Amino acid sequence: MEEVQEQSKNALKKAEKQAKAAAAKAAKATAVPAAGGKGKKGDDSKEIIGITVSKEGNFSQWYQEVVIKAELVEYYTEIAGFYILRPAAMHVWKAIRAWFDERIEAMGVEETSFPMFLSSKSLEKEKEHVEGFAPELAWVTKAGDKDLEFPVAVRPTSEAVMYPYYAKWIRSHRDLPFRLNQWNSVVRWEAKQTTPFLRAREFLWQEGHTAHLTEALAHEEVLQILELYAGVYEQLLAVPVVRGKKTENEKFAGGYWTSTCEAYIPTNGRGIQGATSHALGQNFSKMFEITVEDPEKNRVNVWQNSWGLSTRVIGVMVMLHGDDKGLVLPPRVSRIQVVLLPVGLTAKMSQEDKDKHMIHVKELGSSLKKAGVRVHIDDREGYTPGYKFADWELKGVPIRLEFGPKDAAASVVSYARRDTGAKGTIPIAELSTQVPQLLETLQQDLYNKADEAFRSHRLVLTDWEKVIPALDSRNVVLMPFCEAVACEERIKELTKSEEGAIGLDGLKQPSMGMKSLCIPFEQPKDDGLVLGETKCLNPECSALAKSWTMFGRSY
Amino acid sequence: MEEVQEQSKNALKKAEKQAKAAAAKAAKATAVPAAGGKGKKGDDSKEIIGITVSKEGNFSQWYQEVVIKAELVEYYTEIAGFYILRPAAMHVWKAIRAWFDERIEAMGVEETSFPMFLSSKSLEKEKEHVEGFAPELAWVTKAGDKDLEFPVAVRPTSEAVMYPYYAKWIRSHRDLPFRLNQWNSVVRWEAKQTTPFLRAREFLWQEGHTAHLTEALAHEEVLQILELYAGVYEQLLAVPVVRGKKTENEKFAGGYWTSTCEAYIPTNGRGIQGATSHALGQNFSKMFEITVEDPEKNRVNVWQNSWGLSTRVIGVMVMLHGDDKGLVLPPRVSRIQVVLLPVGLTAKMSQEDKDKHMIHVKELGSSLKKAGVRVHIDDREGYTPGYKFADWELKGVPIRLEFGPKDAAASVVSYARRDTGAKGTIPIAELSTQVPQLLETLQQDLYNKADEAFRSHRLVLTDWEKVIPALDSRNVVLMPFCEAVACEERIKELTKSEEGAIGLDGLKQPSMGMKSLCIPFEQPKDDGLVLGETKCLNPECSALAKSWTMFGRSY
């Protein structure tokens, strides 16, 4: 995210001014409430602070405002780099957890819970792997006012915590496959700028650690899990991803190979790593002496995998679907799918008529609940419908239903979609079938829109000169690549834009170079790459291309 | 648990010898496998190490062997006082989590996730509350090789982490009730001896923190939650509990009053605190300035509650139901409810007949699965049925089903209950109805047996001279009590047994004094306590009794 901030700092003043003017106008019109709680305490007045910048105009600030004001997170001001996950975010995470857990349980993965601390002793066992984490380890050196004899580190990931016990528990090929997963939080004391969900010093994730008898069996699982990760993005979060393999340069240190699913943020054309499933090979099983007797009585090292999915997924979802009004939540993960508002209750109406109408509203709510819809009735008094509309739009609730005396007279309920703003009416008699359908349509439309954006910005290039202009127009590129580490490093250098370059959209582009996102499993067809003939696209490289590799500016 | 160890160290040698002889005999007969993995690596032989002591003979060692050998936990040898929760334990915890979560969600409690660290600054805000935890705080003082400017402590509980944000988020009476819960782990770097589940330096729990407009509303919730905690014990774990209020001496420091459910361990006659639900009153809301404007526009401090249930529940379940063969799991929380074993496949049988029989076994398994039973088919080769029987008994699986050619000929399946050892047959045609019934019967019988034990060892006493003999006979006692802190401290002193006293059961008794467990909500009836007339039972106390209070030796 540091680059987003760089971008934002340098964003054209014109765009900023436009955005501010628009925000001020919007605020005047709708009186959006202070969801972030910045207003004076105990003062119930409707403060005018919706999202104050446009998504296009200042993406970084937009993101930070959305996650706070839609009540996904709160900054933990006591300690920098930490965030509080609020119920709207936890609902998304719980939905993901339930979906993923059900599927890995069916595969035979079991849940475990290892301690959060690592001893300095076990860290020394696997120096190579730990080296990358060393600068980010949080060290407990004292208990009460006594110094610990041996300091302990909070886990940044659990290989060194778990694998000594794998060596103890796994004794025969009959114990394989051996598969454990845990849901926990890990701590990486990042020096870099932190951002809610995308980079935090503590984050929630699941980490699966498995052992297999053969490379082939391990390989199969790596891809099964990757498909589940892709499912979390595509089926729950409406985020399309490209499945592939990481290059040597980008794979998990100490592993064998890494599979990944990569998402795309249209607003700035960046790629973002979704989740990774690693084949660890036998590196760790040699380090930790995890061996079994195979059916032929040979003692062999097991083949291991590890795979993790973190709350980063929520950040990707926010960045992709949100708009200038705030958050847009895919129905399948939204805590509230439908907000139902009584409207049109004028001062002229008798209290009896009002009460009658409210009973009717509650009946509608009950029938939706029965149909399995997560509905919330907003019957708060003292707020105008316009204020409430803006409030629920800010919070990303997929569908707003309005029900007033006119609707009652016509036996319909009026609706508005959060994603498109489209409005219409639904006959009351069909409410419990049409609303679930509409939610599914909205879910699918969110996905289709994002998929179209990703597909149209994945450019297959065979001309090096087109690479930087493609990046500056918010594309990721697929190009013939030799897959060599040094070549990839050089490509990063070569694709840095000049400071202050203006993209086709009239906005200043970030100057960062591109890196490889993945080698997609689905390679472009009929596009002229002949293995053993086509050269790597890097003009300074004379090696032959091994694949179409997807490159891009990225998080 | 330190007292259990004290008891164990001093236990009569006779009992120990008896136990050892019995264990050796049992081991010879059944060849129980080395579930704890102590055997030689890669050596698949059946080592003779089931539970080596009897539950009565050496309760402390029995407990430690059961939790390891039944694969509930593994000691984390890298750092003292930490334990690994293995899948069999995590299954119990997940079942509890799902049951409890469903019910608090229905109450309107929402899930959240706060950071695991506390700044030293926020700690200073609530010194009184923190004082009790101070000696047990784990302090992070370094990140990588750099000293932190301000050390941070790992949460021992989250009041000081959460309440500053309650002050920010709660602004009006319309925000109430405000209820958040989180499932996490907390760290208390205990100096005392640790024991799996009962006392660990890190443990899993849920912590609910809520705010209400009035004392009455807060009070109502305290009791609702307590009833859910009692439900976890009684309905899931088959552990009867007594609901009540803690005395001033035993309540949560800094709180207003504490409700509790208390369990009882017949083997040593000890009480054990099950879970507590605290009315915090306005203490914290004054400390953290959590105020709202009430409907009459007065600014008032909110009334808060907090409530927590930890993995201790699993330890109580193990201690209560286990026997000399190992763990006994209540069906509702057992990962495997039924183990199905093919038996009677002799060397004389043709391979074709064996294959046919195994297909039949798998069909039985499928029909049980369809009936919602968590069944596991143990078709391991190279192990005798006797070995397998002992293995599954050790692991506590509620029902064992055996199916051999003779059963097939009679169209029945043979069963054995883990709790009573009772055996019988079930017609195949009724398997999918009778097995679920049997599981429910077993669940209920476990509860009834424990309930009977608790009820018959809750002695209502009005004669001080009978107190110590009652304790020495493994009872807890209900007696008239003035509820004063000093009197309670004195009672603890007065009830210490002489070192080496022998109880009615011929075993040496622990010398610890008794403390109050709770003031039961359900008071004994017609037992001669007249408020305002009856004196506190402590012979040195001249105050009047306020209630029947339950006292006991305890964990």
- Residues recorded for chain B: 555
Residue in B with minimal Cα distance to A379: B174
Contact in structure between A334 and A112 (CB atoms under 8 Å): no
**Cross-chain residue pair B111–A87, CB shorter than 8 Å:** yes
Residue in B with minimal Cα distance to A41: B171
pLDDT, tens digit (0-9, with 9 covering 90-100), for A246-267: 999 999 888 899 999 999 999 9
Among candidates A78, A86, A145 on the partner chain, residue whose Cβ is nearest the Cβ of B121: A78
CA–CA distance, A116 with B438 (Å, rounded to integer)? 40
Contact in structure between B170 and B176 (CB atoms under 8 Å): yes
User: How many degrees, rounded to 5, is the angle at CA A465 between CA A462 and CA A466?
Assistant: 70
**Cross-chain residue pair B171–A143, CB shorter than 8 Å:** no
pLDDT, tens digit (0-9, with 9 covering 90-100), for A185-218: 999 998 888 999 999 999 999 999 999 999 999 9
What distance in Å separates residue A473's CA from the closest CA in chain B?
Answer: 38
The residue to which tokens 């062997």 are assigned: B65
Contact in structure between A261 and A241 (CB atoms under 8 Å): yes
Per 3-state DSSP, what percentage of chain B is helix, strand, and coil (rounded to 5)? 40, 25, 35
Rg of chain A on CA atoms, in Å:
26
Helix (H, G, I), strand (E, B) or coil at B447: helix
Q: Which of A117, A179, A197 is the best substitution to test chain B (most B C-beta atoms within 10 A)?
A: A117
The residue to which tokens 């778990």 are assigned: A162
Q: What predicted TM-score, i.e. pTM, was given to this entire model?
A: 0.90
For residue A200, which of B116, B156, B208 has the smallest C-alpha distance? B116
CB atoms near residue A406 (< 10 Å): 12
Contact in structure between A206 and A277 (CB atoms under 8 Å): no
For residue A435, which of A397, A385, A393, A401 has the smallest C-alpha distance? A401
pLDDT for residue A13? 41
pLDDT, tens digit (0-9, with 9 covering 90-100), for B299-337: 999 999 999 999 999 999 999 999 999 999 999 999 999
Whether cis (ω within 30° of 0) applies to the bond prior to A177 is yes
Q: Which of A69, A78, A197 is the best substitution to test chain B (most B C-beta atoms within 10 A)?
A: A78
pLDDT for residue A401? 98
Separation of CA B266 from chain center: 14
Provide the 8-state DSSP code for A350.
-
For residue B388, which of B439, B345, B426, B351 has the smallest C-alpha distance? B345
Check pLDDT > 90 for residue B71.
yes
Residue in A with minimal Cα distance to B178: A87
Average pLDDT over residues A371-389: 93
Question: Which residues of B fall within a CB distance of 8 Å from A161?
Answer: 78
Average pLDDT over residues A221-246: 98
Check pLDDT > 70 for residue A9.
no
Among candidates B140, B172, B299 on the partner chain, residue whose Cβ is nearest the Cβ of A44: B172
pLDDT for residue A381? 85
**Cross-chain residue pair B87–A113, CB shorter than 8 Å:** no
Averaged confidence pLDDT in chain B: 89
* Number of alpha carbons in the 13 Å side-chain half-sphere of residue A360: 22
**Cross-chain residue pair B119–A171, CB shorter than 8 Å:** no
pLDDT for residue A22? 42
**Cβ contacts of residue A199 below 8 Å, gap of 6+?**
A1, A190, A192, A193
pLDDT, tens digit (0-9, with 9 covering 90-100), for B85-100: 999 999 999 999 999 9
CA–CA distance, B99 with A269 (Å, rounded to integer)? 44
Tokens standing for A194? 């932190």
Contact in structure between A470 and A477 (CB atoms under 8 Å): yes
User: How many degrees, rounded to 5, is the angle at CA A334 between CA A330 and CA A335?
Assistant: 175
Check pLDDT > 60 for residue B194.
yes
Check pLDDT > 80 for residue A409.
yes
Helix (H, G, I), strand (E, B) or coil at A157: coil
Check pLDDT > 90 for residue A229.
yes
Average pLDDT over residues B284-295: 93
pLDDT for residue A252? 87
Contact in structure between B460 and B527 (CB atoms under 8 Å): yes
Among candidates B115, B135, B171 on the partner chain, residue whose Cβ is nearest the Cβ of A41: B171
Check pLDDT > 90 for residue B22.
no
CB atoms near residue B496 (< 10 Å): 14
Beta bridge partners of residue B424, listed in sequence order: B415
Check pLDDT > 60 for residue B506.
no
**Cross-chain residue pair B90–A112, CB shorter than 8 Å:** yes
**Cross-chain residue pair A74–B165, CB shorter than 8 Å:** yes
Question: Which residues of B fall within a CB distance of 8 Å from A44?
Answer: 171-172, 174, 293
Lowest mean pLDDT among A407-421, B290-304, B516-530: B516-530
Domains with residue ranges and CATH for chain A: 50-321 (3.30.930.10), 338-444 (3.40.50.800), 457-552 (3.30.110.30)
CA–CA distance, A469 with A17 (Å, rounded to integer)? 27
**Cβ contacts of residue A13 below 8 Å, gap of 6+?**
none
How confident is residue B42, by pLDDT bands cut at 50, 70 and 90?
very low
pLDDT, tens digit (0-9, with 9 covering 90-100), for B173-188: 999 999 999 999 999 9
Question: Which residues of B fall within a CB distance of 8 Å from A42?
Answer: 171-172, 291-293, 299
pLDDT for residue B347? 84
CA–CA distance, A140 with A138 (Å, rounded to integer)? 7
Beta bridge partners of residue A154, listed in sequence order: A117
CA–CA distance, A510 with A502 (Å, rounded to integer)? 9
pLDDT for residue A171? 92
Tokens standing for A243? 């499945």
Check pLDDT > 60 for residue A535.
yes
Check pLDDT > 60 for residue A21.
no
What distance in Å separates residue A186's CA from the closest CA in chain B?
Answer: 10
Question: Which residues of B fall within a CB distance of 8 Å from A41?
Answer: 171, 291
How confident is residue A510, by pLDDT bands cut at 50, 70 and 90?
low
pLDDT for residue B318? 98
Residue in B with minimal Cα distance to A169: B37
**Cross-chain residue pair A135–B119, CB shorter than 8 Å:** no
**Among residues of chain A, what percentage have pLDDT more than 90?**
78
Question: Which residues of B fall within a CB distance of 8 Å from A110?
Answer: 87, 90
pLDDT for residue A120? 82
Question: Which residues of B fall within a CB distance of 8 Å from A113?
Answer: 84-85, 90, 93, 185, 204
CA–CA distance, A386 with A29 (Å, rounded to integer)? 8
Residue in A with minimal Cα distance to B143: A138
The residue to which tokens 């089903």 are assigned: B401
How confident is residue A177, by pLDDT bands cut at 50, 70 and 90?
very high
Residue in B with minimal Cα distance to A173: B42
Provide the 8-state DSSP code for B463.
-
Averaged confidence pLDDT in chain A: 89
Contact in structure between B459 and B450 (CB atoms under 8 Å): no
Among candidates A41, A76, A111 on the partner chain, residue whose Cβ is nearest the Cβ of B94: A111
Among candidates B43, B79, B171 on the partner chain, residue whose Cβ is nearest the Cβ of A115: B79
Beta bridge partners of residue A117, listed in sequence order: A154
**Cross-chain residue pair A111–B172, CB shorter than 8 Å:** no
Q: Are strands A375-377 and A338-342 parallel, antiparallel or unpaired?
A: parallel
Contact in structure between B221 and B210 (CB atoms under 8 Å): yes
Q: Which of A113, A121, A293 is the best substitution to test chain B (most B C-beta atoms within 10 A)?
A: A113
CA–CA distance, B116 with A117 (Å, rounded to integer)? 13
CA–CA distance, A163 with A157 (Å, rounded to integer)? 12
CA–CA distance, B328 with B323 (Å, rounded to integer)? 7
Question: Which residues of B fall within a CB distance of 8 Å from A82?
Answer: 115, 117
Check pLDDT > 60 for residue A459.
yes
Check pLDDT > 90 for residue B434.
yes
Per 3-state DSSP, what percentage of chain A is helix, strand, and coil (rounded to 5)? 40, 25, 35
Listed ranges A8-17, A292-301, A489-498, B361-370; the one with the highest mean pLDDT:
B361-370
CB atoms near residue A144 (< 10 Å): 15
Contact in structure between B521 and B478 (CB atoms under 8 Å): no
CA–CA distance, A552 with A188 (Å, rounded to integer)? 26
Contact in structure between A374 and A338 (CB atoms under 8 Å): yes
How confident is residue B13, by pLDDT bands cut at 50, 70 and 90?
very low
Say how many CB pairs under 8 Å bridge A and B. Answer: 175
- B102 phi and psi angles, rounded to 5 deg: -60, -40
**Cross-chain residue pair A86–B112, CB shorter than 8 Å:** yes
Q: Treating both helix axes as pointing N-terminal to C-terminal, what angle do B59-69 and B2-10 enclose, rounded to 10 degrees?
A: 120
For residue B139, which of A143, A202, A80, A186 has the smallest C-alpha distance? A143
Average pLDDT over residues B477-486: 96
CA–CA distance, B282 with B274 (Å, rounded to integer)? 25
What distance in Å separates residue A519's CA from the closest CA in chain B?
Answer: 33
Helix (H, G, I), strand (E, B) or coil at B212: strand
What distance in Å separates residue B376's CA from the closest CA in chain A?
Answer: 12
Maximum Cα–Cα distance across chain B: 89
What distance in Å separates residue A335's CA from the closest CA in chain B?
Answer: 10
Question: Which residues of A fall within a CB distance of 8 Å from B83?
Answer: 115
